[in-house]
Amino acid sequence: MSLDVISRKVLDGAAPSDSDIRYLIGLPDERLGELLRAAHAIRTAHFGNRIGLCAIINAKSGTCSEDCAFCAQSGHHRAESPEYPLLSPEEIAAAGEAARRNGASRFGIVASGKLVSSADLAGFTDAVRRLAALGVKPDLSPGILDCSQLKALKVAGLAGYHHNLETSASFFPNICTTHSYDEDVRAVRAGLEAGLYVCSGGIFGVGESWDDRVELALLLRDLGVPSVPMNFLIRMVGTPLENQEVLTSGEALKIVALYRFLLPDRALRICGGRLTVFGAAGKKALLTAGASGLMIGDYLTTRGGDPEGDLREIEEAGLVPETIKA
C-alpha cells in the first residue's frame, strides 16, 4: 500500500478501504505535505480551481434549548453570547446584499434553537424571498423542519438547508444530550427529500477520535449530502469545552485531507474556527489541502476574517471564486 496507490484509486472513483483509511491516518507528520498535495489533486479533479464562498448571518441568537457542549448560545451554559429574537426580513436581506458584494454566492440565515415557531417560519420565508430576488442563493439553518415545511420554503426560493450532525453517532452523547442523533439525521434526510442543497457537517477538536471523524464522513457520504461544512472548536468561556485542548494546525489539515479522500466529490467548506486553528498564515495551506469552499465574514458569535484579505489569498492560491450563477 502507498499514498500514490490510494490516491489513484480515489481518482479512479473507488472508495478507500478500511486499511487505506488506517494508512492515511497513520501517516507521520513528516509526510503531511505529501498527503495535502494528494488531497489537493483529488479536489482539483472534481472542482478545478473553483472555490465556493459563503457567508452567514446570526439571525436569531442565544437562549437555545439545546446543550451542545461547544456552543456559547446554549441556554444551559454560562457563556456570554448575544441574545435577540429573529431579525426582520429587511435586516437579513441587507446583510445578504453586503455578503454578495463581498463575493459570497450563498448566504445562510442561521437561527439558534431546535424547534421553529410559526412566526419565525413566516419571517424565514419572507427573508428567503428577498434574498432570492437579490440574486444570492439563500440557505437556512433554522433547527429542525420537516420535509413539507422545507418544500414550502423551496417554493419561496430557498436553495439550501443546513443542519450539522456535528460528530459520530457514538460520540454525540458527549456533545449533546437534549436531542437524539437520529433527530438530526432525520432532518438531513428531510432536506434531501425536499430537493434542497443540503449542507451538513461537523465540528472537530471536541474530544472526538479519528474513528469518530471517519464514522461521520462515511455517514455523510452514504446519506448523499453534497456539502460538508467543517468547523474547528473555538473554546468559548463558560461552555463545557472551554478548557479543551486546541487541535494543532497539522492535525486539522490532516482531517481536511482525510475528508477529501473519503468525500472526493463533495464540497468541503472550512467554516468556524479557521483562524483559531490554522491562523492567518495557514490559510493558503488550507486552500491547497483539499477544501473546496470557505466561509467568509463573521461566524455566529465570533469575528471572522476580513473578506478582502480572504479574496486576495484565494487568488494567490490560484483559486477562483464561484460566481453566483455557477
Tell me if 114 contacts ligand SF4 by CB under 6 A: yes
Q: Which stretch binds ligand SF4 (CB under 6 A): 44-52, 60-68, 145-153, 189-197?
A: 60-68
- For residue 56, which of 121, 136, 125 has the smallest C-alpha distance? 136
68 carries a ligand binding annotation:
yes
Angle between helices 249-262 and 18-26 (to 10 degrees): 160
If one asks whether residue 249 binds ligand SF4 (CB under 6 A), the answer comes out as no
Q: Binding to ligand SF4 by residue 74, rule CB under 6 A?
A: yes
When asked if residue 120 is in the footprint of ligand SF4 (CB under 6 A), the reply is no
Binding segment (CB under 6 A) for ligand SF4, from list 28-36, 39-47, 70-78, 248-256: 70-78
Range in contact with ligand SF4 (rule: CB under 6 A) among 41-49, 66-74, 89-97, 122-130:
66-74
Q: Tell me which amino acid residue 5 is.
A: V
All residues at 6 or more sequence positions from 322 whose CB lies less than 8 Å from its CB, including other chains: 50, 51, 52, 53, 105
Structural contact between residues 216 and 200, judged by C-beta atoms closer than 8 angstroms:
no
CA distances from 88 to 81, 124, 137, 158 (A): 20, 9, 18, 17
Does residue 271 have a known ligand-binding role?
no
Closest Cα partner for 324 from 79, 23, 102? 102
Residue span binding ligand SF4 (CB under 6 A) among the ranges 7-15, 18-26, 64-72, 280-288: 64-72
Q: Which residue has the cell 419561496?
A: 156
Options 24, 55, 59, 64; binder of ligand SF4; rule CB under 6 A = 64
Interacting positions 21-40 with ligand SF4 (CB under 6 A): none
Answer yes or no whether residue 199 interacts with ligand SF4 by CB under 6 A: no
Closer of 112 and 227 to ligand SF4 (Cβ): 112
Q: How far is the CB of 282 from ligand SF4 (least distance, A)?
A: 25
Contacting ligand SF4 (CB under 6 A), which of 7, 81, 105, 112?
A: 112
- Indicate the pairing of strand 202-204 with strand 267-270: unpaired
Binding of ligand SF4 at residue 71 (CB under 6 A)? yes
Query: Is 147 annotated as contributing to ligand binding?
Result: no
64 is in an annotated binding site: yes
Q: How many CA atoms lie within 13 A of 18 on its CB side?
A: 2
Element (H, E) at 150: helix 147-156
Q: Where along the sequence are the contacts to ligand SF4 (CB under 6 A)? A: 64, 66, 68, 71, 73-74, 112, 114
